[in-house]
Amino acid sequence: MASVISRNDKFCVVYSYFDKDGKRRQKWETFKTLGEANTRKIEIEYSQQVGNFVIPNCTTVSELMKEYVSLYGKTKWSPSVYSSNTGLINHYIEPYLGKLKLAEVTSHTLERYYQKLLTTPAVPMICVKKYSNETRTVTTATVRKIHNVLRSAFTQAMKWDLIEKNPAAYATVPKHEAKERKIWDAQTIFKAIELCKDPRLKLCLNLAFSCTLRIGELLALTWDCVDISDESIQAGKASISITKELQRVSKKAMKALDSKDIITVFPDQGIHNRTALVLKTPKTPTSIRKVFLPKTVAEMLVAWKMEQDAAIEAIGNEYADFNLVIATPVGLPCESAQIRKALKNLIEENNLPPVVFHSLRHSSITYKLKLNQGDIKSVQGDSGHAQASMVTDQYSHILDENRQENAKLLEKAFYNGRGAEPEAEVKRKQIAMVDQMNAMGFDPLQLAKVLSNPDMVKMLQILAGSGAAAQ
């Protein structure tokens, strides 16, 4: 059993264990919040109950990384994150820092290590056979990922009372200049859709742009998550629900995580594949969302479903029906590489500005922010960003445009208008005045004639205001 004790504005999980000599000892693990402490308490008690409890007891960076992956990574990471982080640990952390004692790792140590990495040949990813003819060195982006792993691991070490402070928290990380992603404007997207002769790609372009989808979300969409009934379309409520994503993951990672987050594993197309194509839960809870469809796109899906049903009937048992919206002619999932290649061909054949498929998501967010005058929350609801700040940070230039327009509108309405009410407020008052006069039994035709005279409108507004004040 474990208990939670408050101490010095922090929360400690206290539990007993037996060391290798059979002596009973007590362990304190420190956390910043009560929620973290309670979560750790549950983990400890469960591990003790099933008999696989391990006491964090590390002296070197290598030992810490093993404990970190075992106790933290396997419970917190998705298969793709597990593959990425263990790859960074095995290729870049273990060889250079593994033998160091935890007490020897300082901010200065890490800063020298980061600089050394920038001149170190990069290790190709599992899905990349080789780089270009020129040997690539570790990029600043990769160094920042390594830093994030180390910072997280040392944070856990502090909670386990292995170290007193986190050296990564104070280390300066090489600056990374992210390349600005090129995107299509609305006219280019419309042109590309009109020029597209591939029905599947055409539907993908429309769905990605109108619904602000990631390609994995788009390719994971199943018909049970699509509402395109006649009633919903007519009512403007046609929608799709994003509940999963299509991803190719390492089989090794899947095994290590006991297939955590995996919904469906698709049939293996190769005997010696080290990866598997799967449907998995989204990376964050906010990624699970409903997105409403424009009527045109909803009707596209209706037509697409009819064509797909006809193909299923024609092929019969040869069709592998996984209920996927976007599928191959025989029903198998469509990989992202296929869609990206089709888009590349469309761009080259029609001399369109080069972009990647993910750019459509950025174009969608940009267009919606302009369309709704910077309504961040509604756009966040469509995009599935975990925090509104992720929208504001990345699309601040769009919001700045709206704020500049606000300044122009303020100049026009207030200063040039000598204190006049905003147009929306004027309309609201006019509607209220019409409703009031209708309630008093005014002839609608006579009322229309009166309201067509601006001087009469002003006089009636003054009178209405006086009446309201008197009440």
Domain definitions of the chain by residue range: 1-54, 56-177, 186-244+282-394, 423-470
Q: How confident is the model at residue 469 (pLDDT cuts 50, 70, 90)?
A: very low
When pLDDT is averaged across residues 449-469 and rounded to a whole number, the result is: 59
The average confidence (pLDDT) of the chain is: 84
Share of the chain above pLDDT 70, in %: 77
The number of beta carbons lying within 10 Å of the beta carbon of residue 402 is 14
Contact 293, 211 (CB under 8 A): yes
CATH topology of domain 186-244+282-394: hpI Integrase; Chain A (1.10.443)
Contacts 24+ apart (CB under 8 A), 304-311: 304/199, 304/203, 305/223, 305/228, 307/199
Q: Which residues pair with 16 in a beta bridge?
A: 26
CA-to-CA dists, residue 63 to 117, 169, 298, angstroms: 21, 20, 54
Q: Which residues pair with 101 in a beta bridge?
A: 60
Q: How confident is the model at residue 443 (pLDDT cuts 50, 70, 90)?
A: low
When pLDDT is averaged across residues 99-107 and rounded to a whole number, the result is: 93
Q: Choose the weakest-confidence range: 160-164, 336-340, 356-360, 424-428.
A: 424-428
- Select the highest-mean-pLDDT range: 118-122, 389-393, 396-400, 466-470: 118-122
Contact 275, 258 (CB under 8 A): no
- Select the highest-mean-pLDDT range: 160-169, 219-228, 357-366, 392-401: 219-228
The number of beta carbons lying within 10 Å of the beta carbon of residue 356 is 15
Share of the chain above pLDDT 90, in %: 52
User: What pLDDT sits at residue 220?
Assistant: 97
- Helix pair 140-159, 107-117: axis angle to 10 deg: 150
User: What pLDDT sits at residue 178?
Assistant: 74
User: What pLDDT sits at residue 26?
Assistant: 79
On the question of pLDDT at 93 being above 80, the answer is yes
Nearest Cα to 145, choosing from 108, 114, 100? 114
On the question of pLDDT at 9 being above 90, the answer is no
CA-to-CA dists, residue 73 to 187, 239, 270, angstroms: 45, 35, 29
User: What pLDDT sits at residue 82?
Assistant: 94
β-pair type (10-18, 2-7)? antiparallel
Phi, psi of 10 (to 5 degrees): -125, 175
Residue 249 tokens read as: 């993951």
Q: How confident is the model at residue 330 (pLDDT cuts 50, 70, 90)?
A: very high
- Select the highest-mean-pLDDT range: 19-33, 57-71, 188-202: 188-202
Comparing 458 with 189, the larger pLDDT belongs to 189
Comparing 197 with 409, the larger pLDDT belongs to 197
User: What pLDDT sits at residue 223?
Assistant: 97
Q: Which residues pair with 249 in a beta bridge?
A: 276
Write out pLDDT tens, residues 367-382.
Answer: 887 777 656 777 777 7
Q: How confident is the model at residue 468 (pLDDT cuts 50, 70, 90)?
A: very low
On the question of pLDDT at 456 being above 50, the answer is yes
When pLDDT is averaged across residues 442-455 and rounded to a whole number, the result is: 64
- Helix pair 396-410, 359-371: axis angle to 10 deg: 20
* 56-177 and 186-244+282-394 in the same fold: no
User: What pLDDT sits at residue 22?
Assistant: 72
Comparing 94 with 283, the larger pLDDT belongs to 94
Residue 87 CA to residue 82 CA, distance in Å, equals: 8
Q: Which residues pair with 31 in a beta bridge?
A: 11
Write out pLDDT tens, residues 167-226.
Answer: 999 999 998 887 777 889 889 999 999 999 999 999 999 999 999 999 999 999 999 999
Residue 196 CA to residue 350 CA, distance in Å, equals: 9
When pLDDT is averaged across residues 465-469 and rounded to a whole number, the result is: 49
CA-to-CA dists, residue 386 to 54, 55, 287, 307, 358, angstroms: 33, 34, 7, 36, 18
In CATH, the number for domain 56-177 is 1.10.150.130
Phi, psi of 283 (to 5 degrees): -70, -25
Phi, psi of 378 (to 5 degrees): -70, -40
Q: How confident is the model at residue 275 (pLDDT cuts 50, 70, 90)?
A: very high
Q: How confident is the model at residue 91 (pLDDT cuts 50, 70, 90)?
A: very high
The number of beta carbons lying within 10 Å of the beta carbon of residue 413 is 18
User: What pLDDT sits at residue 126?
Assistant: 44
Q: How confident is the model at residue 295 (pLDDT cuts 50, 70, 90)?
A: very high
On the question of pLDDT at 434 being above 90, the answer is no
On the question of pLDDT at 100 being above 60, the answer is yes
Residue 59 CA to residue 101 CA, distance in Å, equals: 6
Contact 189, 363 (CB under 8 A): yes
Dihedral angle over CA of 138, 278, 335, 323, nearest 10? -160
Biggest CA-to-CA distance, the chain: 100
Q: Which residue has the tokens 């003054």?
A: 462
Residue 104 tokens read as: 């020897």
Contact 240, 290 (CB under 8 A): yes
Residue 95 CA to residue 138 CA, distance in Å, equals: 14
Q: How confident is the model at residue 130 (pLDDT cuts 50, 70, 90)?
A: very low
